[in-house]
Amino acid sequence: MRFIIATALLFSWIAQAQQVGQNASTTSDGVTVLKVSSQLVIETISVKDKKGNPVSGLTQKDFTVTENGTPQNIRVFEYQALAEPTAVAMRPAPAYVKPYNKLSHFEIEPEPKGSGKYRDKRLLALYFDMAGMDPGDQYRAISAAEKFIRTEMQPQDMFAILRYAGSSVEVLQDFTADRTRLLSILATLSVGEDRGYDNSTSGDAAAADSGSAFGQDDSEFNIFNTDRQLSALQTAANMLGRLSEKKCLVYFASGLRLNSLDNQAQLHATVNSAIRAGVSFWPIDARGLVASAPLGDATQGSSGGSQMYTGASALAMTNRMQQSQDTLYALAGDTGGKALLDSNDLGRGIRNAERSISSYYIIGYYTTNTAKDGKYRHVKVALNRENLEADLDYRQGYYANKEFSQFNVADKERQLEDALMLPDPITDLTIAMELDYFQINHAEYFIPLTVKIPGRELALAKRFGAERTTIDFIGEIKDSSGTTVANVRDKVSAKLSDTDAAEIAHHPIVYSTGFTLLPGRYTIKFLARDNETGRIGSYQTAFEVPNLDKEDQRLPISSVVLSSQRTALKDAIYNAQKRNAKAAEQHPLVENGLTLVPSVTRVFQTDQIMFVYLQAYKPRAKSASPIVAQVSLYRDGQRVFESTPTEAAKGAGQLNTTALEFAIPLRDRTPGEYECQVTVIDPSGGKVNFWRTTLAVR
């Protein structure tokens, strides 16, 4: 049961269609041009003896390189001789440093061929996450960088300066050894101006009670801004990947707090990109050694509520601090760096990154496997000298390239299948997903799946006089033993009216499908691809379908669906069920031709009505007594709304299924975060059940 509908949610960013170039077979004067492409693979290899000292004097013939077991011919061989850092005498600070103009481009320029610009140089990139740091942390980070460059910068060091201010990664200065230039660029960084959002703000007991509405951000997809910070870090790593040498990215941040499992896909993608680019992360917690008051300091408002007196606020604040540092530790550990935590000497983190780059070899080869299939290829480097005992440190493999503009139908299908099999997530396209369950009979459950994609990330193509968007969907569900029990494969090509084409950049696209499963534990992996640009987004999560027939203590209920919209199926941009209206009517979220669209992100506005839908089951009930249910909203532990208890109509079917639905106006709700609780009672059976979740009202 699959259909796509356009919904009305807040989005302010407009995505522009990417242009795809075409290959020309001849030039304008009719001369045939033959284009040959090859892929150069670069490996940086650190060779150290048993005492940990770099081994020099090796030649190209001393190394053997294989890729997936196939020997490769080494075509590039260099030795980067780097002296150990030494103490640098304190240099007097100039009274005034004239600010230089910042770079007009936003990329790291590749090394000019044959220039030797970076030979025997240490490449260190200073990356300032200004959007996630408080003004005090920004000041400490900039001051530490200035002090290091003034007093400890070595002759072989080259620094680049990058900044993330909440929208894009800016290259303020490419790699240079000019101290004056670097200091002038750092002088242009204004403390406090780039403050975009607070990564620590959440709905836990330590959240400040502002008493006012949320500040509106770009969209509901950005409510968890950690993905944006990780994505920016990934972009920076890809920029640095243009250079063959070893690179260290010194990451100044005020911690980086993950939101449960929601950011795991982007975290893995960022780490994998850094490994492919030969970049190691060296995070520095700009907060330094923190000794905060139990209820926070003057930089944030009081949390309010009873949590102040039970200790919940202090515990939440401590957990928040630890979680934000755990992410920095993981980024460093997975890429070969080391995080600097709980230290007021922030320059020590730069010093550690500098000392990590010792003499190493650069080996390059043109892979014999020219297929740009995107598959992982294992690389093995070995020494041919039997009398030399040494440890080799290098990248163990890489993912091959894939050019979407040259794909045919078979290539595109294989790309989706390969992407589905990859262990690493793909995050080029943003995806939010919700899974629910509704009992069909004593054995089976219907699992509706709802996926949201920001319309601004989709490219439109003009065909046959109309704008069109084409999206490919593929997914599979595996049980606990790894066996595939269900799958989906859809290709949606929707013709858009002029109105829809103008509005799609401001609203998300919602795709819905469904599966029938038995009770058990499962894992789902779902991918969506924009068929115009080839951008892919994946979502993977584990879920459980409970066996409600074995529920003896509580009243069995289905998932609870929160929604702010009912949409007619006939108004959908694309609807696979238009040819099978009867099947669509059997969908638990479809009634009288209207479908209830799950919120997915559970973000609502004060001018909306929140719909609450669930089913209750009484398969062994001896009487036909009604079920009583009500919805309550809590804020800061206090109940601020409670609906009138409603008696549902008599159940139907072999499960004695009772549908429960509420429509709650939000116009009287103060913007903020709430706990929504649904209480369902069976008076005759003496059973009750509760369901609770967090939602946001803007």
Over the stretch 95-129, which tens digit does the pLDDT of each residue have? Answer: 444 554 544 445 788 887 777 788 889 999 999 99
pLDDT at 631: 95
- Say which range, 18-27, 372-381, 411-420, has the weakest mean pLDDT: 18-27
- Say which range, 20-24, 45-49, 206-210, 374-378, has the weakest mean pLDDT: 20-24
Is 449:486 a contact under the CB 8 Å cutoff?
A: no
Residue 200 has pLDDT above 80, yes or no: no
pLDDT at 217: 37
- Say which range, 87-91, 185-189, 356-360, 373-377, has the weakest mean pLDDT: 87-91
Taking only Cα atoms into account, the Rg of the chain, rounded to an integer number of angstroms, comes to 29
175-190 tens-digit pLDDT = 999 999 999 999 988 8
Right CATH number for 602-698 from 3.90.1580.10, 2.60.40.10, 3.60.21.70, 3.10.580.10? 2.60.40.10
pLDDT at 561: 94
pLDDT at 680: 94
pLDDT at 547: 94
Confidence of residue 463 (pLDDT cuts 50, 70, 90): low
Residue 194 has pLDDT above 90, yes or no: no
pLDDT at 4: 40
259/599: higher pLDDT: 599
For 390-411, what is the mean pLDDT?
76
First and final C-alpha spacing in the chain: 32
- What are all long-range contacts of 566-569, with beta carbons under 8 Å and residues at least 24 apart? 566/594, 566/595, 566/596, 566/597, 566/611, 567/5, 567/7, 567/594, 567/595, 567/597, 568/593, 568/594, 568/595, 569/3, 569/5, 569/593, 569/594, 569/595
pLDDT at 62: 93
28/394: higher pLDDT: 394
Q: How many CB atoms lie within 10 A of CB 1?
A: 18
Residue 37 has pLDDT above 70, yes or no: no
Do the bridges between strand 609-617 and strand 687-697 make them parallel or antiparallel, or are there none, so unpaired? unpaired
Residue 667 has pLDDT above 70, yes or no: yes
Q: For residue 373, which phi and psi values (nearest 5 degrees)? A: -100, -5
Confidence of residue 196 (pLDDT cuts 50, 70, 90): very low
Confidence of residue 218 (pLDDT cuts 50, 70, 90): very low
Residue 654 has pLDDT above 90, yes or no: no
- Say which range, 149-158, 408-417, 494-503, 566-575, has the weakest mean pLDDT: 566-575
629/208: higher pLDDT: 629
Confidence of residue 223 (pLDDT cuts 50, 70, 90): very low
pLDDT at 59: 92
Burial of residue 688 (number of CB atoms within 10 Å: 0-12, 13-18, 19+): middle
CATH number of 82-358: 3.40.50.410
Report DSSP state, residue 112: P
653/610: higher pLDDT: 610
Is 335:353 a contact under the CB 8 Å cutoff?
A: no
For 577-593, what is the mean pLDDT?
63
- Max mean pLDDT among 18-22, 185-189, 248-252 falls in 248-252
Residue 378 has pLDDT above 80, yes or no: yes
Rounded to the nearest integer, the mean pLDDT of the chain is 79
pLDDT at 169: 85
Please name the residue ranges forming H helices in 450-540.
498-503
The helix (run of H) or strand (run of E) holding residue 282 is: strand 279-285
Residue 313 has pLDDT above 90, yes or no: no
Task: Tell me the domain boundaries of the chain.
Answer: 82-358, 602-698
pLDDT at 648: 81
Question: Do 602-698 and 82-358 have the same topology in CATH?
Answer: no
Residue 451 has pLDDT above 80, yes or no: yes
For helices 264-277 and 226-240, the axis angle rounded to 10 degrees is 10
Confidence of residue 224 (pLDDT cuts 50, 70, 90): low
Residues 6+ apart with CB under 8 A from 291: none
Return the closest-CA partner of residue 460 out of 396, 386, 531, 520.
Answer: 531
In this prediction the pTM is 0.58
Residue 89 has pLDDT above 70, yes or no: no
pLDDT at 8: 30
Is 433:451 a contact under the CB 8 Å cutoff?
A: yes
